[in-house]
Amino acid sequence: MIMSYLVLARKYRPQTFEQVVSQKHVTRTLGNAISSGKVAHALLFSGPRGTGKTTVARILAKAMNCKSGPIPVPCNECSLCIEISSGNAADVFEIDGASNNGVEQIRELRENIRYMPVHSLYKIYIIDEVHMLSIAAFNALLKTLEEPPPHVMFVFATTEPDKIPVTILSRCQRHDFRRIESKSIAKQMKLICSKENISITEESLWLIAREADGSMRDALSLLDQVIICSEGPITGERILDILGLVDRKIIFDISNAVLSGNIAEIIDILNKIYNRGYDMKKLHANLMEHFRNLFIVKIGKKVSELVDFPDLEINLMIEQTKEISAAYINQILLLLAEESELLRFDSQPKLALEMMFIKMFQIKPVLPIDLLIEKLDSMKQEISETGVKSAPVVNADPACPEIRCDTQKDEKNVQTVSKKSVGPLETENQPDSSALDKGENLDLTWKKITGIISKKYPSLASNLARSRLINLAEKRMDIEVNGSDFNLKMIKRNKNISILKNICSQFFGNDFDIVINAKIKSSFDNQQKKTEENKIKQKALNHPLVADSIEIFNGTVVSVKILQEEIK
């Protein structure tokens, strides 16, 4: 049995301007020019490969030479249209600029031009990759372009318009073709697959579309390849296999590990995918793209326009960047860019990647600052909410005991303070001391537990920064979370609850049910003021001068003080 297979790019080549994907700005202009009889004699189509330049040139040739033309929508049925579609038209010449780039060929062309077309209205010359012509050939061509015979049209196509002499450019009407978005490529492939009765997942379509990098022709030939190699439904896994692509999940896993500071996890993933035969340089390129997308998602402007990924993945990116600052992503991005040059010439790309990640963990001043802000906030809140906490500090200065009395108007509080005046150190050593009321006891206990958590799980600890232990029964503990919705959501994750349970059971020696309560936020004004203050703090910490100082002096930020006139 002889299998005949017409490649998809040919089978589904657009036959009208309407069918061309993503180049409306070009096809509409051409359609209007044809309608009004004002088509230029020399046109230049520039743009990336596989974006439809020669396809549009052919449609234009049909539109001009169709028996019922010139007409914006060629009939595609008359003998002239059919001849052009099959590449056999007597008056339409498709010339490859790369192989016919000498002055001889152009002279021949000029001779030929003098004769009238055989069957149609125009002699149309489509010269592909026109930038490949030699200087002499361009000069010969220029003479024709200066005084083109009325029955002749030139359509030049190029991926590199910069290489075309200005004298030629100035005599052409230029149309720039756009790189096709993955979205549009995926959509077109979906249409084709449904016509071909091919079952393929959405994920697969996106994988191919992204690999094609803006070229419809490349996308369709990848799709050909996948169809030929597959039996049954086409899945993402199969595509990764056939095309040797890096799984998107791996990109998310690695970036998660980067953002949570888990170097062991990264080295483990690198090892696994290296053994599976993935291209490490490609992985690096994918990571760069990913962090670039995270940066845009974090900034949050024109996301759907600038991040050419399915909504599902954009949502995952939003989730991934919630806890980190744009400045930190930017730092990672800079390091990735710095290493890309080195990686290109490295004979051991896996090792180079590992080194890069290790470097990444050595310089990450922005993340700790983020946590620092959290801590500053929680400290401030503790001070403002439980006046008691600040008392030992005031008391530590025995020279001015009056201040303590002045600030603590509440009778009961003053009493508590005076009992605690033995000093904070001693108090901490005796958490069970009867001098402390139950509330304080809980606070101290909770402080110790969160202390343990922050050593092992800094990210969970930062989410717990504004939490309190409000009830401790035999088998149940109630934790009050007083942060953002996000903090609450993070803490409530199964993984985090089980970490909490583990640490508490180790701490107390018995198991607890942990109940998380959300505290209703204080008044709106307070909240707004806090947000405003946070913004100012973040701005100060992100200031290049501050970042540089931290790096130069290898220092840490102790506190950020806000002058009152700034909060307005």
Binding residues for Zn ion, per CB under 5 A?
A: 66, 74-75, 78, 81
With respect to Zn ion, which residue has the nearer C-beta, 47 or 74? 74
HSE (side-chain half, CA atoms, 13 Å) at 549: 9
With respect to Zn ion, which residue has the nearer C-beta, 17 or 457? 17
28 Cα distance to chain centroid: 32
Distance (Å, whole) CA 232 – CA 222: 17
562 Cα distance to chain centroid: 34
* Interacting residues of 536 by C-beta distance below 8 A, sequence separation 6+: 562, 566, 567
**Pure H helices in 386-523:** 387-395, 401-407, 411-420, 424-429, 438-456, 458-463, 485-491, 494-508
218 Cα distance to chain centroid: 22
C-alpha distances in angstroms, 164 versus 97, 156, 498?
12, 10, 66
Nearest to 486 by CA among 320, 297, 310: 320
Identity (one letter) of the amino acid at 351? L
With respect to Zn ion, which residue has the nearer C-beta, 78 or 242? 78
Output the smallest distance, CB 32 to Zn ion, in A.
20
Contact 321, 297 (CB under 8 A): yes
User: Which two tokens mark 326?
Assistant: 């744009």
Distance (Å, whole) CA 202 – CA 549: 49
With respect to Zn ion, which residue has the nearer C-beta, 66 or 296? 66
Output the smallest distance, CB 19 to Zn ion, in A.
15
Contact 318, 297 (CB under 8 A): yes
Identity (one letter) of the amino acid at 347? S
Helix/strand/coil for 3: coil
Give the chain's end-to-end CA distance (angstroms, integer). Answer: 81
Identity (one letter) of the amino acid at 58? R
Distance (Å, whole) CA 289 – CA 296: 11
With respect to Zn ion, which residue has the nearer C-beta, 66 or 273? 66
Output the smallest distance, CB 42 to Zn ion, in A.
24
User: Which two tokens mark 355?
Assistant: 């080194």
Output the smallest distance, CB 280 to Zn ion, in A.
53
Pairing of strands 152-158, 173-176: unpaired
With respect to Zn ion, which residue has the nearer C-beta, 16 or 542? 16
Output the smallest distance, CB 70 to Zn ion, in A.
11
With respect to Zn ion, which residue has the nearer C-beta, 84 or 296? 84
Output the smallest distance, CB 67 to Zn ion, in A.
5
With respect to Zn ion, which residue has the nearer C-beta, 21 or 78? 78
Output the smallest distance, CB 91 to Zn ion, in A.
13
Distance (Å, whole) CA 509 – CA 201: 51
Length of the chain: 568
Output the smallest distance, CB 84 to Zn ion, in A.
8
Exposure letters 14-34 (e unless 16+ CB within 10 A, then b): bbbbeebbbbeebbeebbebb
Output the smallest distance, CB 65 to Zn ion, in A.
8
With respect to Zn ion, which residue has the nearer C-beta, 75 or 355? 75
With respect to Zn ion, which residue has the nearer C-beta, 82 or 227? 82
With respect to Zn ion, which residue has the nearer C-beta, 66 or 449? 66
Output the smallest distance, CB 71 to Zn ion, in A.
8
Output the smallest distance, CB 73 to Zn ion, in A.
10
Distance (Å, whole) CA 10 – CA 564: 69
Output the smallest distance, CB 81 to Zn ion, in A.
3
With respect to Zn ion, which residue has the nearer C-beta, 65 or 158? 65
